[in-house]
Amino acid sequence: MIRAHDRLVQTIERSEFASVLNVLVSGDEGEVNEVRALQLLADRGGETVTSRPLASLYGFSSHSRVRPALVRLQGRGLVDERDGTWYIVDPLFNEWLRRSSPLADRPVLEASDER
């Protein structure tokens, strides 16, 4: 079962999920922020998405740019919010993003560590 799941996630990599990211990455700064927000959600979960250290780690110019990116992704049907926590709607897409992320295992600096 686990191997079948792994094969499915790897197969999808070459198809629709990669296409979604390619369209967003080739767009304007707002769309690039959407990619950053997707990666942040997949790697770290959606409870503290607007923290300054996380926003900085994922390449946002300001933590205030995270929420608008999430709202745009919500309009695209890719993410949603429940009880203040954001999440990626498709669990396979979430897993594919997490596996492809170079930042998934990097520690996040706390605000006091940023000096």
Rounded CA Rg of the chain: 14
Q: DSSP secondary structure string, 24-88?
A: HHTS-HHHHHHHHHHHHHHHH-SSSTT-HHHHHHTT-SSGGGHHHHHHHHHHTTSEEEETTEEEE
Average pLDDT over residues 67-80: 96
Predicted confidence band at 11 (pLDDT cuts at 50, 70, 90)? low
Largest CA distance in the chain: 46
Taken in order of first residue, the domains within the chain and their CATH numbers are 2-104 (1.10.10.10)
Distance CA 24, CA 67 (A): 17
Predicted confidence band at 75 (pLDDT cuts at 50, 70, 90)? very high
Helix (H, G, I), strand (E, B) or coil at 103: coil
- The predicted model scores a pTM of 0.76
